[in-house]
Amino acid sequence: MRKLMLICNPHAGKGISGEKLLEMTDFFNASGFLPEIYFTKKDDDLKEVLNFARAEEAFLVCMGGDGMINLLADSMIKNDMILPFGYLPEGTTNDFAKSTGIPVDFKRALSASVSEEMRETDVGSLSGRHFVYVAGFGLFTDVSYKTPQKTKNAFGYLAYVLEGAMSIAEFKLYRLKITVDHEEVIEGEFILGMVTNSMSVAGMKSIAYDDTRLDDGMFEMLLLRKASNIGELSKLLSSVMAGNTNSPLIVYRQGRHFLFEGEELSWTIDGEYGGTYSGSEIEVTGKKLKLRFTKS
């Protein structure tokens, strides 16, 4: 039997039950694999796990939410070990799975996780820290990591909606200068900024859905300018949700390099706290993750 390394975040979504662990083990055994399970810890570095998988020529599968993908991608690139891997999505919004076409249905995801077919996705860097599908600041963007895990477990996606609604009354303006690909300069006051490589953000269809290609070396930037009143803010958010970029309050660009200067920004990357910086540089690294994938 071939060895398989299964990396799990035991706290993702509603947690991993003994029944689900048994189902996974039975499936992998029946498919000719001998699985070993590693449960991640806070601020983990997966170097030893990756070394084991490479030395043993083991299949690599990870299970968890979008933060699990961030941890794996960051560890792979920092340790110069980009290994093919399968993914079992068990988070609350599962944006990465929705973007890549990984089945959310658990049985189908199991089959896809050991497929010989592959697809590649670009990796970004925010001031030296890696991310896969989104880096954002401002309105709503801190909801994913500020919402307590117990609340997410109890209410699922509704927890994000409730926390997001509460944050509207607290939104802050950021006076910034943003340079795109070392050429175009954009200035103004903004309530939100995101650089994405995703078909889905916060469980919703991305405004950049039609332009996004996960492996084209380009990321998509969305900026929302200051609204003058609540009614204008409501129209602005409706435009975003409808995928309409024609609003004068929306700035949308594609690029490989984005420099944010001005006020200090606290970032969320792949649903996790990504650090606070007075000058923030985002770029496409040129590195690509190799994801096991079954075409539907």
List domains and CATH numbers for the chain: 2-122 (3.40.50.10330), 129-286 (2.60.200.40)
pLDDT in tens, 124-153: 999 889 999 999 998 765 544 344 444 344
Regions of the chain short of the pLDDT cut 70:
12-17, 140-171, 203-204, 295-296
pLDDT at 199: 85
Measure the CA–CA gap between 177 and 126, rounded to whole angstroms.
17
* Exposure string over 233-248, b if 16+ CB within 10 A, otherwise e: beebbebbeeeeeebe
Which has the closest alpha carbon to 133: 97, 182, 79, 104?
97
pLDDT in tens, 23-56: 999 999 999 999 999 999 877 889 999 999 999 9
Measure the CA–CA gap between 55 and 221, rounded to whole angstroms.
39
Q: Which helix (H) or strand (E) holds 281?
A: strand 272-292
DSSP reduced 3-state for 17:
coil
pLDDT at 169: 47
Which has the closest alpha carbon to 6: 90, 124, 93?
90
DSSP letter assigned to residue 85: B
Q: What predicted TM-score, i.e. pTM, was given to this entire model?
A: 0.83
